Amino acid sequence: MAILKIARMGHAVLRKAADPVEDPTATSIRGLVADMLETLADAGGVGLAAPQVHIPLRLMIFFVPDTRVELPEDPDDSAQDMTVLVNPGYEPLSEETSLGWEACLSVPGLTGAVPRYTRIRYWGTGLDGSRIERRASGFHARVFQHEYDHLDGVLYPQRLNDPSLFGFAEEIRRDPPSLRPG
Ligand code: NI
C-alpha cells in the first residue's frame, strides 16, 4: 500500500479520456485500488478517479457520508459505503439538473457550484467481476458524475455555468452565495 501523488488541474493526465480496464479482477487493479483507498483516506475527500493518481484507466472510488445526503426522503440519495467501479457508465433518468457546491483534490482549496443531473442510473464492474448497478439522486448522483467526468478528462471548473460561483473554499464558506435551482 502506498499514498499516491495527486495530479493537479493543468496536468496532461487530467485532460485526456482514460482507457477501459481490460480485466477488472487483475491483481494489478486490486493493488491500484488499495493505493487509491489509502490516498483518499489521507487526503480526506469523498471520491477519487484513477487519472487523479496519474493512471489513465476508467476506474473510480467514492462513498457518500450520511452528512452529505441532500434528499433524505429519496432512497436513491442515501449514504453509500465505499464503492469501487471499474469501466463505469451512466444515464440521466430525467433532464432535471441541480446546482451544488463541489470541490476536487486536483483543484485544491477551491470550490464551485456545478449543475449535475439530479437523478441518474449508473453501472460498472466490481473488483470481483460482478456487475454493480444503482439509481442515484442528489449528492450520490453528484459525486458519481464528478468522478465520471475525470475519466473523460473533464474537471468541475469546466462545468460551471456561472463563473461567479467559483472561488476559494475558505472565503466562500464565510458567506456562501445562494444557489438558484440548476
Ligand atoms: Ni475531482
Ligand 1 mean position, distance from CA 73 (Å): 27
- 8-state DSSP, 135: E
136-158 as b/e: b if 16+ CB within 10 A = bbbbbbbbbbbbbbbbebbbbee
Alpha-carbon dihedral sign for residues 64, 65, 67, 73: positive
Ligand 1 mean position, distance from CA 103 (Å): 7
| Percentage above 70 pLDDT, the chain | 98
Ligand 1 mean position, distance from CA 156 (Å): 7
Residues annotated as catalytic are 147
- 8-state DSSP, 101: E
At residue 75, the pLDDT reads 87
How confident is the model over 14-54, as pLDDT tens digits? 999 999 999 999 999 999 999 999 999 999 999 999 999 99
Whether 182 shows a pLDDT value over 90: the answer reads no
* pTM: predicted TM-score of the whole model, two decimal places: 0.96
Ligand 1 mean position, distance from CA 61 (Å): 11
How confident is the model over 61-92, as pLDDT tens digits? 999 999 888 888 888 888 999 999 999 999 99
C-alpha–C-alpha distance, residues 150 and 163, integer Å: 20
Length of the chain: 182
For all residues of the chain together, what is the average pLDDT? 95
| Percentage above 90 pLDDT, the chain | 87
- 8-state DSSP, 160: -
At residue 181, the pLDDT reads 61
At residue 37, the pLDDT reads 98
How confident is the model over 4-16, as pLDDT tens digits? 999 999 999 999 9
**Section 98-106 average pLDDT:** 96
